[in-house]
Every structure is written in C-alpha cells, then in structure tokens.
Amino acid sequence: MQLYNKMSAKERAQLIDEAGKDRLTISFYKYHNILNPKLFRDNLFIHWDNLDVLGRTYIANEGINAQISVPADNFQDFKAHLDEISFLNGVRLNIAIEHANKSFLKLKVKVRHKIVADGLDDDTFDVTDKGIHLKASEFNKMIDDEKTVLVDMRNHYESEIGHFKNAITPNVDTFRESLDIIEEDLKNHKEDKNLVMYCTGGIRCEKASAYFKHKGFKNVFQLEGGIINYTRDVKAEGLENKFMGKNFVFDHRKSERISEDVIANCHQCGIPCDTHIDCKNEACHLLFIQCPECKKKMNGCCSDPCKEIAGLPIEQQRALRKGKPKRQRKFTKGRSSVLKYKK
C-alpha cells in the first residue's frame, strides 16, 4: 500500500497538463487532541491520494494544518471525507482567491511535534482558551475603534508585500519572536485596549490569542479565517477592503493580489515591486523581491556570483555543490547583504 509520494514534481505537472481540469487551492487547520498522529496521517494519505490531492499537511497531537490542491471535480468527495472525521466535520476551508492548477505538485503528509513551529511551551497555558473570532464586517468596525491595536502576526517578508492599513507589522523572522515584542510594546494596555490580530488563514492567531490571554490581555480578538477568508467576505458582502497589496502564500504562487496597491520595492533596484522569487542558483535559493528588468538582467539570481553559477551547465553546478552542506539562505527571506534595497 502506497503511503508516500513516489512521483516527481515534473511528472506530476505533466499529468496536470494532460488532465486539463481545474484544481482548487485550499487551506484549513484545526486544533484537536489527536491520540495517534501516525495512524491518522496514514489513513489521511490513503484517502487523499485516491482523490488526487496534492500539497503539504502537518499532523500533530495538537491537530492538523493543511495547504493543499484538490481537483475541482473531486471537491465534494474530498469535503465528504472531511465531514466523516468528527473533529473536521464542517471545518472552514479557505479556498484561494487566485486560480492556479500547479500551486502544489506533490502530496506530503507529515507527522510533526506541532502543526505550527511556534517555539512555545504549550503546557504552560490552555491552547483552547482562544480569543474572539471576528467576521470581516466586525473586523472592519473594530479596527476603526481608537481603542484597538491591530497586529500582523506574520513575518517581515509576508507583511512587506501586503498588510492591513495602520497595522503593527513586527520586523521578525519567526512567529515566536513577535510574541515577546507585542507583549512588551503593549504591556501597559492589557486591559484598556482591544488586541486584534490577523495572519494568512488564522492558525497563528489562534495560538497567539490563547497565549496573550494567558499573559493577562483581557480583550483579545482575531480575524476569522485570516486574510484569505476576509478577502472573500468583503467581495461577497460589498465591504470596504482595508488590506493593501498582496497576501503571501506558501505554495508555488507565493502570493495572491488583494488590492492594486504595490507597497514593496525590488530588492535590487528599488522600484515599486511585490513579486517574490527564489534565486535561480540551486545552492542559494534565497527568497527575495525582484522586478522584471532585474530578473532579466540577473537571470533570476540575487547576486553576480549566483548568476555566474546558475549560468553553468547543470552537471557542473552539481559538481560544485557536491560534498558541501546545503545553504539555508532561503530562510533568510530577504535579509541577505547582497540585496541593496531590502527592508
């Protein structure tokens, strides 16, 4: 019985092209006590593989976090399968704003210690004692209140290309870093301010809201379904869109445009731009913002040395990488000193 992906991304992309059918990019999460994550993971993989589901899913004792792609024709069967699982019955599915058949090219279902790497000791607080969820209309009204502090719970490279008006956007590389910064900055307003948080789909805010309640904040709220769900609701209900720019997403698309505002700049020349790419040099893979002109000039690379390496034959590139530790520059997310106009 197949319990792991055995097909390459290239092979899968070809099959998607040959099928000629639309796919839906979906994300969802649920905090729940899963007693046997490994058994749950294997059952999930078998069902999803049969439905041609692709994407990345994490299973842990604390719940599930999924970013996946489902054939539109199989969506109802996929939803029916989720509804058969007691704690996932009726779970909110955040369907992507922008269509992309190749947002994911492999099915990966992994057992992890946590569904989000938050660096927290969950034994010190009740993760289910979460803040109040706000629908889009409620969120718009509350963030206009002078007693509200709006905080972006995402990392710097995410908020750089898009965020809500007047939001605090911590200049951090990890979710854990932002928690201490926010607590320190708002330590004198734990009772007289509304702490309203948002993230991509809601999962980080859910944990953060429980954490801040544990830390003594009295009025804690989060945007229900995150930016993805908010965008759908403001369109459906004719509400004012208070989000500026793009929403960073963790698949091959890298972002979805929410408004026409371009609030970031090319990291190489400084002109307005909000398109993330990975450096074409496989030994680098730095994530950064690059405009079309710089992409053409630099061949999709972050620096001249990387451009030189990426221009070599593939076998020669592999020979240069052989025996060397992988450089995790992808996770510096735009912090590299080679980028002249990084924030």
Does residue 132 share a domain with residue 54?
no
Catalytic site residue from 199, 273, 291, 294: 199
Domain range enclosing 281:
276-332
Q: Which of 89, 111, 133 is the last residue of a domain?
A: 111
CA-CA distance, 23 to 18, in Å (whole number)?
A: 13
**What average pLDDT does range 192-196 have in this prediction?**
97
Does residue 226 share a domain with residue 156?
yes
**What average pLDDT does range 103-109 have in this prediction?**
95
Residue 84 belongs to a domain: yes
Residue 68 belongs to a domain: yes
Does residue 140 share a domain with residue 58?
no
Does residue 133 share a domain with residue 217?
yes
**What average pLDDT does range 208-219 have in this prediction?**
95
Does residue 140 share a domain with residue 103?
no
pLDDT range class, residue 334, cuts 50, 70, 90: low
Residue 102 belongs to a domain: yes
Does residue 214 share a domain with residue 143?
yes
Residue 73 belongs to a domain: yes
Q: Which of 242, 275, 241, 269 is nearest to 161 (CA)?
A: 275
pLDDT of 123 over the 90 cut: no
Residue 55 belongs to a domain: yes
End-to-end, the C-alpha distance of the chain in Å comes to: 49
For the chain, give the percent of residues with pLDDT over 90.
79
Give Cβ neighbours of residue 301 (< 8 Å, ≥ 6 apart).
279, 280, 281, 284, 307, 310
Looking at the structure of the chain, the number of domains it has is 3
And the tokens for 79? 């939803």
Active site residue 199: yes
Q: For residue 205, give the CATH number of its domain.
A: 3.40.250.10
Q: Which of 111, 132, 148 is the last residue of a domain?
A: 111
pLDDT of 332 over the 90 cut: no
CA-CA distance, 147 to 261, in Å (whole number)?
A: 27
State CA 318 to chain mean position distance.
30
For position 91, what pLDDT does the model report? 96
Q: Could you read off the pLDDT of 273-330 as tens digits, one per residue?
A: 999 999 999 888 899 999 999 999 999 999 999 999 999 999 999 888 887 766 544 4
**What average pLDDT does range 93-109 have in this prediction?**
92
Q: Could you read off the pLDDT of 136-168 as tens digits, one per residue?
A: 999 999 999 999 999 999 999 999 999 999 999
pLDDT range class, residue 245, cuts 50, 70, 90: very high
Residue 265 belongs to a domain: no
pLDDT range class, residue 4, cuts 50, 70, 90: confident
Q: Which of 232, 248, 263 is the last residue of a domain?
A: 232
Residue with tokens 């996929």: 78
For position 331, what pLDDT does the model report? 46
Does residue 214 share a domain with residue 146?
yes
pLDDT range class, residue 3, cuts 50, 70, 90: confident
pLDDT of 117 over the 90 cut: no
Does residue 92 share a domain with residue 164?
no
Q: For residue 96, give the CATH number of its domain.
A: 3.30.70.100
Does residue 127 share a domain with residue 72?
no
For position 341, what pLDDT does the model report? 87
For the chain, give the percent of residues with pLDDT over 70.
97
